[in-house]
Structure 1
Amino acid sequence: MRNLTVMAMFLVLGGCGSAVENAAKAVLAQVDNPKSARFNNVRSTPEGNICGQVKYKDASGNYSGYMAYAAIRHDDGYEAVIDRDGNNATVRAICTAPQDLALAQMSGNAGAQASTGKWQVRIASGSNMGNITDMASRLVEGGFMANFVQQNGETQVYLGPYDSKAEAEQKRGELMASKGIDSLVLPFDSTAK
């Protein structure tokens, strides 16, 4: 029995210090109730940063919605940045796939408008999506009706169209808060098939 206990302690200690665990510690240092924290969609970037979503209980004991975070790797550990309002440029720049970042910047330009006057929410591609079937289940379970489109050899997932950018932004916020799924608000493309 003693050998089994020593072996269990060795295995637990052997797992300490991984990048994901160290990043989680940096995130937990910034939340109100660290013991209640729940993580979702945790992934690493090619630069060694860790991205994901976190939710935790507030002082009243109620869970917050999911918030995206970036744990930025430094020589002496990780620095966590939590996107509390859904618009943190640092978290977006570190955690959004390059092609999604380019789309977001393009649609954010002052001159960009939806030619149809409508807007859509595009689920961020890459490791955030995981298995398409699982993504569809998570969306339906949360009451989100999605459209799946094959574009440039990959499946794109959209919600909408919505009549205004504000309505699409609200849906984007609901998606992150309830399911921890990152997404972008873009002009509706009626030609996508």
Structure 2
Amino acid sequence: MRKLMVIAAAALALAGCGSDVEEAHKAVAAQLQNPAAARFTTPRTLAHGNVCGQVREKGGNGQYGPYRSFAAIKAEDGYHAIIDTDGNNPAVRTICGAPEAQSVAVDNGNGWEVRIAPNAMGALTDMTARLVEHGFMANVASRDGKTEVYLGPFPTQAEAEQKKAELMASQGIEADVVPHPAGG
């Protein structure tokens, strides 16, 4: 009986403790206007227990807004969340290791493409199927010994940036814009 009580007490103590991802999601949700309607995707636990991912919430009109990246930094007193409201927050990009968009002042003549971030990929077939299912025409290419998923090419960097924004807003998938290689 005594062993049963000790096991029951341990189980109750553990039940009150959420996982790192759950605790990070609570910290992010606390910063939202409608935390009960928060939807999270692609959570990743990093070194030191930091958590990165994407979140979206319902607005006052009852519709879900676009996905936004977040970083939840683990501290002694819990998680401190940073939500990237415009896709350009350097703190979130640094903590989460999101790819930096390459910018070139003039068009390279070969066009531009949207490269899916390696940390967002998961299984190659699952990613390409998800993209196609949601209207994004994906290409798979092997470059520099790595198999990667791309959208495009697009004639201008602005068009590629627009497609990247659509991808994040509708699917919560991180990506970067890169020059399309000559002959690629």
Alignment TM class, shorter chain as reference: 0.7 to 0.9
Question: After TM superposition, what 4+ stretches of structure 1 lie above 3 angstroms from structure 2?
Answer: 10-13, 111-114
Q: How many positions carry a matched residue from both structures?
A: 178
Residues 114-138 of structure 1 show CA distances to partners (whole Å, capped at 9, x for unaligned) of 5325111100003x11011110111
Structure 2 CA distance for aligned equivalents of residues 186 and 146 of structure 1: 15
Task: Give 5+ residue unaligned stretches, structure 2.
Answer: 1-7
Does structure 1 residue 75 correspond to structure 2 residue 72? no
Residues 131-181 of structure 1 show CA distances to partners (whole Å, capped at 9, x for unaligned) of 111101110011000111122333111111111111111100100111110
Structure 2 CA distance for aligned equivalents of residues 23 and 68 of structure 1: 13
AA partner of residue 66 (structure 1): Y
The aligned residue for residue 162 of structure 1 is: 154
Alignment RMSD, CA only? 2.4
The aligned residue for residue 121 of structure 1 is: 114
TM-score normalised according to structure 1 size: 0.82
Asked if the contact 1:123/1:129 (under 8 Å) is kept, the reply is: yes
Asked if the contact 1:55/1:63 (under 8 Å) is kept, the reply is: yes
Does structure 1 residue 174 correspond to structure 2 residue 175? no
Greater Rg over alpha carbons, structure: 2
The aligned residue for residue 37 of structure 1 is: 38
Task: Give 5+ residue unaligned stretches, structure 1.
Answer: 1-6
Tell me the secondary structure at the aligned position of residue 78 of structure 1. Answer: strand
The aligned residue for residue 92 of structure 2 is: 91
Tell me the secondary structure at the aligned position of residue 49 of structure 2. Answer: coil
Asked if the contact 1:117/1:164 (under 8 Å) is kept, the reply is: no
The aligned residue for residue 4 of structure 1 is: none
Structure 1 CA distance for aligned equivalents of residues 32 and 107 of structure 2: 38
Tell me the secondary structure at the aligned position of residue 86 of structure 1. Answer: coil
AA partner of residue 154 (structure 2): Y
Q: CA deviation at 1:43?
A: 0.7
Give % identity: 52
Structure 2 CA distance for aligned equivalents of residues 47 and 156 of structure 1: 28
Structure 2 CA distance for aligned equivalents of residues 31 and 137 of structure 1: 31
TM-score normalised according to structure 2 size: 0.86
